Amino acid sequence: MDSVPPVVGADVSRSRIPRNTRSRGPDRPYPTGADAGDPSQKAEQASSPVVDMNNEHTSDSLPPQLHQLIVVGGGVAGCTAAMYGQRYGLDVVLLEKAAPGGQTATASLVENYPGFPGGISGFELAQRVHQQAQEAGITFLTDLAKALLPQGPCWTLQGEVDSYCAQAVILTLGAAPRRLGVPGEARLLGHGVSFCATCDGFFYRGKRVAVVGGGNSAVDEALYLTDIAEQVYLIHRRHELRAEAYLQERAFARANLEIVWDTVVEEVVGQAELEKVRVRNVRTEQVSDLEVDGLFVAIGHAPQTAWLEGTLDLEDGFIVTDHLMHTSQAGIFAAGDVRNTPLRQITTAVGDASLAAYSAYQHISALSEMDVASLMGQG
Ligand SMILES: Cc1cc2nc3c(=O)[nH]c(=O)nc-3n(C[C@H](O)[C@H](O)[C@H](O)COP(=O)(O)OP(=O)(O)OC[C@H]3O[C@@H](n4cnc5c(N)ncnc54)[C@H](O)[C@@H]3O)c2cc1C
């Protein structure tokens, strides 16, 4: 195996634990596309300990700076992985394509995250997590990750704005719930329309709700809601469910669960709050209104991982990991909603993320140890 190029902040000759001596704080932002043309920036980069991965370092084409850990995604999983990485003494950079916060920032009220009796708004929770990561000294960069390429024992991450190189990469890209795309859905999100029964079902005690979908998660959510709501409708576009048999049996046996077969949602209706759902029977073409207080859309999640096809093992687009968040490639880890997991919650995202940082640290330490061995002529 190639010897590992010197890493920013690592002192491998003295310790297995890489040091973080060159993290860029928020006051010293990493050059992005906006300032990449600034000659003073290039001069600063050229005089800094930049690693020349190809031995083709010219003043016109600077190679990417080598970091120990790059985290992609600034949701709760990404911020947690970055903070844990930082606490392991790693040089960490976090890449986020938009504003940090991820899906959590869109949750109206989070009532199932420990430590907040009475709940906390998703926006505030996301803000707090981001602030905590900033206070820990994590460098946040705005860029859209587009490709991952092996570079000896390291990985080059190509972004829309810049390229980055790291000994380990943690992917926390999240997954967006699939939307129906019908009129009223977006406007009434958080006002009767929800994508998560575990999160929002509590608000519908003794009320009438509908769930859309026919797979495992839709039936699971419908069953969960039968213990809370007075009446649950499961709206499904076909005449048979895709959910596993044991779930179907339970659904058929539940007295307050009615399956509305061969039906699609045409419109979500309400002024300030959801009032009814306009549905169409695809066999008879008959349109009718279903009066409900809550509508739970459970037609799956869509991970944004097309750019990783061919690089990592994916399952329905989700990144396949083991229980320590290793992916199919050494040095690449995944955490949170983007991985193949049966539960996508804030608690599971932060748990995954801390394990991913642990595994990334182990990986980086092993690389450093190999380098020590080669430096000592024992490699
Ligand atoms: C409306 C709503 C309400 C919810 N309520 C609750 C609740 O009450 N309790 C609960 O436990 N869970 C709730 N959830 C689920 C919870 O929000 C998610 O499980 C959690 O946010 C997952 O965190 P994550 O960091 O894995 O992913 P995300 O929060 O999705 O973050 C992923 C981040 O990665 C970024 N990203 C993606 N691709 C790239 C790329 N190529 N380059 C750079 N950046 C990229 C995205 O912009 C995003 O910021 C809710 C979800 C929604 C949508």
Among 329, 338, 291, which Cα is nearest to 310's? 329
Nearest atom of ligand 1 to the alpha carbon of 346: 11
- CATH code for residues 39-176+302-375: 3.50.50.60
pLDDT value, residue 287: 98
* Residue 199 near ligand 1, beta carbon < 6 Å: yes
Nearest atom of ligand 1 to the alpha carbon of 194: 1
Domains 39-176+302-375 and 193-299 alike in fold: yes
State in Å: Cα 205 to ligand 1 middle.
26
pLDDT value, residue 61: 55
The DSSP letter of residue 37 is T
Which superfamily is assigned to 193-299 in CATH?
FAD/NAD(P)-binding domain (3.50.50.60)
Which residue ranges make up each domain of the chain?
39-176+302-375, 193-299
In Å, how far from its chain's centre is CA 276? 32
Residues with Cβ within 8 Å of 320's Cβ and at least 6 positions away in sequence, in order, are 312, 313, 314, 327, 328, 339, 340
* Residue 71 near ligand 1, beta carbon < 6 Å: no
pLDDT in tens, the chain (379 residues): 344 444 443 332 222 323 332 333 332 222 222 222 232 333 333 222 223 333 333 334 566 889 999 999 999 999 999 999 999 999 999 999 999 999 898 776 788 999 999 999 889 999 999 999 999 999 999 999 999 999 989 999 999 999 999 999 999 999 988 999 999 999 999 999 999 888 899 999 999 999 999 998 899 899 999 999 999 999 999 999 998 898 999 999 999 999 999 999 999 999 999 999 999 999 999 999 999 999 999 998 889 999 999 999 999 999 999 999 999 999 999 999 999 998 889 999 999 999 999 999 999 999 987 764 554 444 4
Pocket test for ligand 1, best of 70, 93, 94, 104 (most atoms within 8 A of CB): 104
State in Å: Cα 362 to ligand 1 middle.
26
Nearest atom of ligand 1 to the alpha carbon of 109: 8
Distances (CA, A) of 134 to 67, 95, 126, 358: 18, 13, 12, 20
Residue 365 identity (one-letter amino acid) = S
pLDDT value, residue 198: 81
